[in-house]
């Protein structure tokens, strides 16, 4: 359990991370767009950051230990550091491209697809929240924690990495909500980065987590059933 004396520090840390993310994403979108009058960008920010705030509040109240793990983003594995750095560059390029795309009217996504992508993003968020409910060992870094056990119930009984599956659907919906096919093409690099991350993570888990090898034989699919 987290001591009461550091609960407020955790809250402050979480709020700072939330505001920093909001300002960063807003800057990457609206500055290249050259205007604040971009409805798709405001829609995306609302869809992303309102559920994020709600989820963070729930974690803070009910599972502060898990919230603390989610705030820890410092990778120790060299391969994972490269994946995180590459993903960061990908996101930077995609958001800036979406802003420039809107500014110069280069491409357009039909309204029905924007709506469908918005629904997919919210469903992906719900899937992400369910994964966190099932797995108390979730961390943003690749590691085996003290006392960690294999989780094989719920979504983990269908695929081995439901959290990554949720993020793939979530992130691929983002450029469609923003109305940019250029950004969508850039975001296609994200699933490739996740494949690299999963392969490395499974090597770590096979060595350090008892029962994981048996689990991989029972649950064949890593990310998408009947695909991979």
Domain ranges of the chain: 4-218
SS3 110: coil
Please report which confidence band the pLDDT of residue 150 belongs to, taking 50, 70 and 90 as the band edges: confident
Given this model, what pLDDT does residue 142 score? Answer: 47
Q: Give residue-wise pLDDT tens across range 117-134.
A: 999 999 999 998 888 878
Closest by CA position to 138, among listed 105, 169, 170, 162 = 162
Mean of pLDDT over the chain: 86
Given this model, what pLDDT does residue 147 score? Answer: 58
Given this model, what pLDDT does residue 23 score? Answer: 96
Report percent pLDDT > 70 for the chain: 86
Whether 2 contacts 10, CB under 8 Å: yes
Report percent pLDDT > 90 for the chain: 49
Closest by CA position to 68, among listed 148, 154, 129, 141 = 141
Give the Cα separation of 192 and 194 in Å (integer): 5
What is the pTM assigned to this prediction?
0.86
Please report which confidence band the pLDDT of residue 75 belongs to, taking 50, 70 and 90 as the band edges: low
Using CA atoms, how far residue 187 sits from 24, 81, 184, in Å, is 18, 19, 5
Given this model, what pLDDT does residue 4 score? Answer: 58
Q: Give residue-wise pLDDT tens across range 175-192.
A: 999 999 999 999 999 999
Whether 187 contacts 95, CB under 8 Å: no
Mean pLDDT of 214-228: 90
CATH number of 4-218: 1.20.120.1630
Closest by CA position to 155, among listed 137, 176, 130, 180 = 130
């Amino acid at each position: 359990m987290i001591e009461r004396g550091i609960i407020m520090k955790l809250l402050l840390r979480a709020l700072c991370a939330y505001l920093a993310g909001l300002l960063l994403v807003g800057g990457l979108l609206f500055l290249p767009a050259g205007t604040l009058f971009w409805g798709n960008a405001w829609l995306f920010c609302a869809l992303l950051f309102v559920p994020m705030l709600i989820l963070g509040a729930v974690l803070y109240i009910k599972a502060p230990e898990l919230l603390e793990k989610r705030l820890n983003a410092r990778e120790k594995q060299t391969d994972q550091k490269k994946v995180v750095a590459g993903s960061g560059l990908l996101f930077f390029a995609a958001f800036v491209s979406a802003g420039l795309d809107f500014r110069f009217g280069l491409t357009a996504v039909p309204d029905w697809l924007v709506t469908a992508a918005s629904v997919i993003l919210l469903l992906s968020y719900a899937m992400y929240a369910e994964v966190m409910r099932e797995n108390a060992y979730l961390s943003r870094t690749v590691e085996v924690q003290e006392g960690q056990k294999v989780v094989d119930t719920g979504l983990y009984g269908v695929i081995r990495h439901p959290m990554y599956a949720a993020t793939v659907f979530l992130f691929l919906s983002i450029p469609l909500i923003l109305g940019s096919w250029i950004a969508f093409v850039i975001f296609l690099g994200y699933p490739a980065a996740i494949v690299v991350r999963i392969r490395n993570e499974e090597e770590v888990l096979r060595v350090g987590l008892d029962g994981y090898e048996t689990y991989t034989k029972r649950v064949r699919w890593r990310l998408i059933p009947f695909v991979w």
